[in-house]
Amino acid sequence: MNTKIRKRLLIGLSFVICHLSFSVALSSCSEDDLGPSIYDTTEYPLDRSVYTFPLDTFVKKNFLEPYNLKFIYKMEDVGSDMQKNLVPASYEKSVDLAVLVKYLWLDVYTKLAGEKDVFLKKYSPRIIHVIGSPGYLSDGSREVGVAEGGIKVTLMEVNKLNVNQIEGPYGMNQLFFHTMHHEFGHILDQTSLRPTAFNTISSGLYDAMGWASKSDTIQAGLGFVTPYGSSQAGEDWVETLACYVTYDQDRWDKLLNTAHYDWEEIDYQVDDYRAYYPRAYQDYLTGYSRLNCNYDTIGYLRMTANYEYKLVRKVVPRNANGFVALDADGNYTVSTDIDNIDGQAVILQKLDLVRTWLKDNWNIDLDELRKEVQTRQYVTDDEGNFLRDQYGSFVNRLTYIDPANPDKPTLYEQLIQEVEEYKKLQTAK
């Protein structure tokens, strides 16, 4: 059975959900000669007269030759879902994604894995297929990625790639690199199964059919890093890995803080909400991203895929009118143990199992992996501390201009230059 794991971003919501579809391929095994390969194995020389020659050469030298990994950006009908109206990725955005996948994913694992020279050749997917647009689905959502059987990963919405934006619902991590780490986690899990102890931590809480309607806040309180992680243990496992590696420290700390509390969700009318929580409602009207929300609040409004309003709020003592009951000092008490689950402790327990598994099986230090990824994304000082801008956000290393050397090319420009160098071959005699 071939499982396609489809990541998609709901219109009107700012969190990523996943859609599962299954296709069955019937086959028979035999030791008889099955004849020649169904694929064209002939190697053709790259055409220097073609506009795309620089990128074609770059991916041949950096993907295919060292790792037996194809980077396909010229959208092929045979490799695309013909049920959807898809748009090819632009050449420029394909260049951006290719150099970033090499820098932020391939080079990281090659540096840290125990089998540096052969690790990715053995375990990486065989194909990375990039498409410019999302794949719109019948329920109004849109796919941003598809993975097929550990062999092929399709990354969508590449034409929205913005090297200036690392975090957020349209940031590089959310659209591309979370998917890469998630799917690679599946491949490694298929090679060396996760510990059985992990499967029992949240036993009884998984919901394979209803996870998409769940609030990420409430699921965090139950010990899941994302709603999709609550669909089944295997997804919980790789979501824990992918979130830890790609979330910056602020976002990870907010997740753990949220997970420490008990939360409840109630039906709500938008007019009542406007009167009850005017600031939160204004945030909702202006499209304030839930991914960037500080969930350390009494409550916030969310809208389901069925356009129903829900109020997600901390469990606190309330008076007969539903308002927060304050003590004599004007304070309130937040519950952390109503369901006998400390979501923060559960997430950290799961993370520790992932950490041990990576180390024992591939000699990969999870914390070093996370540090390597994030120091490649964000600027650090001489002591390795992450720098912040005037707004308190981490500074994007890819586009950072060093005040002491403003004429020096940015890291992004240096990465792109590696592709540009192949243009010289086009004019060489």
Q: What is the tens place of the pLDDT at every residue in 265-319?
A: 888 776 665 555 544 444 444 443 343 333 344 677 788 777 788 888 888 887 7
What mean pLDDT comes out for the span 102-117?
A: 90
pLDDT at 407 over 90: yes
Tokens read off for 414? 């240096």
Q: Beta 299-303 vs 309-314: how paired, if at all?
A: antiparallel
Residue found by looking up tokens 């013909």 in the block:
82
pLDDT band per the 50, 70, 90 thresholds, residue 85: low
What mean pLDDT comes out for the span 214-224?
A: 93
For 167-198, how does the pLDDT look when each residue is reduced to its tens digit (9 = 90+)? 988 899 999 999 999 989 999 999 999 999 99
- Output the pLDDT for position 296: 40
- Output the pLDDT for position 330: 74
Residues facing residue 266 across a β-bridge: 311
Higher per-residue confidence, 428 vs 259: 259
**What span, in angstroms and rounded, lies between the C-alpha atoms of 121 and 209?**
35
Residues facing residue 152 across a β-bridge: 127, 148
pLDDT band per the 50, 70, 90 thresholds, residue 76: low
Report the candidate in 360, 246, 98, 121 with the shortest Cα–Cα distance to residue 238: 246
Report the candidate in 5, 360, 349 with the shortest Cα–Cα distance to residue 200: 349
**What span, in angstroms and rounded, lies between the C-alpha atoms of 95 and 159?**
11
What mean pLDDT comes out for the span 72-86?
A: 65
**What span, in angstroms and rounded, lies between the C-alpha atoms of 285 and 326?**
29
pLDDT band per the 50, 70, 90 thresholds, residue 213: confident
- Output the pLDDT for position 423: 85
pTM here?
Answer: 0.81
**What span, in angstroms and rounded, lies between the C-alpha atoms of 106 and 112?**
10
pLDDT band per the 50, 70, 90 thresholds, residue 396: very high
- Output the pLDDT for position 64: 94
- Output the pLDDT for position 339: 75
Residue 113 in contact with residue 60, Cβ under 8 Å? no
Report the candidate in 225, 288, 256, 249 with the shortest Cα–Cα distance to residue 377: 249
**What span, in angstroms and rounded, lies between the C-alpha atoms of 224 and 206?**
10
For 119-150, how does the pLDDT look when each residue is reduced to its tens digit (9 = 90+)? 999 999 999 999 998 876 655 556 667 777 77
- Output the pLDDT for position 133: 85
For 8-30, how does the pLDDT look when each residue is reduced to its tens digit (9 = 90+)? 333 232 333 333 332 222 223 33
Tokens read off for 143? 């796919």
- Output the pLDDT for position 286: 45
**What span, in angstroms and rounded, lies between the C-alpha atoms of 125 and 121?**
9
Radius of gyration for the alpha carbons in the chain, expressed in angstroms and rounded: 23
Residues facing residue 155 across a β-bridge: 130, 145
Higher per-residue confidence, 358 vs 136: 358
pLDDT at 321 over 80: no
Mean pLDDT rounded to a whole number for the chain: 80
pLDDT band per the 50, 70, 90 thresholds, residue 114: confident
Percent of the chain with pLDDT over 70: 77
Spell out a b/e string for 64-81, using b for 16 or more CB atoms within 10 Å of the CB, else e: eeebebbbbbebeeeebe
- Output the pLDDT for position 26: 25
- Output the pLDDT for position 15: 32
pLDDT at 208 over 50: yes
Report the candidate in 84, 344, 103, 351 with the shortest Cα–Cα distance to residue 244: 351
Instruction: Fill in the amino acid letter for 296.
Output: D
Percent of the chain with pLDDT over 90: 52
pLDDT band per the 50, 70, 90 thresholds, residue 38: very low
